[in-house]
C-alpha cells in the first residue's frame, strides 16, 4: 500500500491545504463569472427580443463571435488585449502602467464568454412565458423595470434552470482554462504540485475527485433551487 502512504503524506498533508485553496479560488471565479454571465445574458436576450435593429445586430454579432471562437483563444485575446487597452488608456492619461489583477480579469473574461451562451437560454425561457402575463402587468400600470423584476425573471426561471445548471457545470470545468494566464486556480495548483513531486497521476486523480465532489454538491444545490422555483408549476 505504498501509494496510499504517498497519497496521505504528499497529497493530503503536504499539498492538501494548497489544493483546497485552489478549489476555493475556482469556486470564486466560477460564481463571479456565472453571475456576470447571467446579467450579460439577460441584457443580450432582451436586446435580441427588443426588435430594435441595431440592438439585434449587436447581440447577434456578440453571440456569434463568442460561440464560434474557441474559448481558450477568447480568454487569451480578451486577457492580453484588455491589459493592453487599459495600459494604453493609462498612458494616454499620463499615468503609470497598471498590473491587471488575474482574478478579476479571469472572472470577467469567463463572464463575457458565458454571457453569450446564457443569452440564448434566457431568450428561449422568455419566449416560453405566456404573453398574457406581460399584458396584465401593463394593464395594472407596472413600469418596465418592475415587469422585469417581478414578472419576467421569476416566470422565466423554471424554463431556464435546466440550461443554466448545465452552463454552470460547464463553467466549473472552463475555469481551468484560466491557468493559461498563470492564475493559481485548482488545476494550475495541481500542475505545480505534480511537477514538484513528479506524482502526476496521483495529483491529477485527486484533483479529478475534487471536481467530481464540487459537481455532486452543485447538483444538490441545483435540485433544491429547481424545487423552489417549480413549486407552483403544474405537475406533468
DSSP-assigned letters across all residues of 41-91: HHHHHHHHHS--HHHHHHHHHHHHHHHHS-HHHHHHHHHHHHHHHHHHHHH
- Examine the pLDDT at 36 and tell me if it is beyond 90: yes
Q: In this structure, how many other beta carbons lie within 10 angstroms of the beta carbon of residue 161?
A: 19
Q: How big is the CA angle at 173 (ends 170 and 175), to the nearest 5 degrees?
A: 110
Percentage of the chain surpassing pLDDT 90?
17
**pTM score:** 0.83
Instruction: pLDDT band for 118, please (50, 70, 90 cuts).
Output: very high
What local confidence, expressed as pLDDT, does residue 182 receive? 65
What local confidence, expressed as pLDDT, does residue 3 receive? 60
CATH architecture of 2-229: Orthogonal Bundle (1.10)
Indicate the DSSP class of residue 218.
H
For the chain, what are the domain ranges? Answer: 2-229
Higher pLDDT pick, 188 / 31? 31
Q: How many angstroms separate the first and last alpha carbons of the chain?
A: 52
Amino acid at each position: 500500500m505504498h501509494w496510499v502512504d504517498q497519497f496521505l503524506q504528499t497529497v493530503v498533508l503536504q499539498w492538501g491545504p494548497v489544493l483546497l485553496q485552489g478549489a476555493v479560488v475556482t469556486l470564486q471565479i466560477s460564481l463571479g463569472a456565472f453571475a456576470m454571465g447571467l446579467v450579460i445574458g439577460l441584457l443580450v436576450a432582451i436586446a435580441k427580443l427588443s426588435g430594435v435593429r441595431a440592438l439585434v445586430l449587436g447581440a447577434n454579432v456578440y453571440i456569434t463571435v463568442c460561440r464560434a471562437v474557441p474559448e481558450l483563444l477568447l480568454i487569451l485575446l480578451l486577457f492580453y488585449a484588455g491589459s493592453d487597452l487599459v495600459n494604453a488608456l493609462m498612458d494616454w492619461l499620463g499615468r503609470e502602467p497598471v498590473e491587471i489583477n488575474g482574478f478579476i480579469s479571469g472572472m470577467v473574461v469567463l463572464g463575457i464568454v458565458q454571457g453569450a451562451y446564457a443569452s440564448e437560454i434566457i431568450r428561449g425561457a422568455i419566449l416560453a412565458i405566456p404573453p398574457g402575463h406581460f399584458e396584465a402587468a401593463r394593464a395594472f400600470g407596472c413600469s418596465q423595470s418592475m415587469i422585469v423584476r417581478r414578472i419576467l425573471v421569476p416566470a422565466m426561471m423554471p424554463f431556464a434552470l435546466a440550461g443554466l445548471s448545465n452552463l454552470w457545470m460547464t463553467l466549473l470545468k472552463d475555469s481551468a482554462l484560466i491557468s493559461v494566464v498563470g492564475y493559481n486556480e485548482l488545476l494550475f495548483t495541481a500542475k505545480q504540485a505534480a511537477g514538484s513531486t513528479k506524482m502526476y497521476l496521483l495529483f491529477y486523480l485527486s484533483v479529478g475527485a475534487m471536481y467530481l465532489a464540487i459537481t455532486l454538491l452543485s447538483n444538490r444545490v441545483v435540485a433544491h433551487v429547481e424545487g423552489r422555483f417549480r413549486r407552483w408549476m403544474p405537475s406533468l
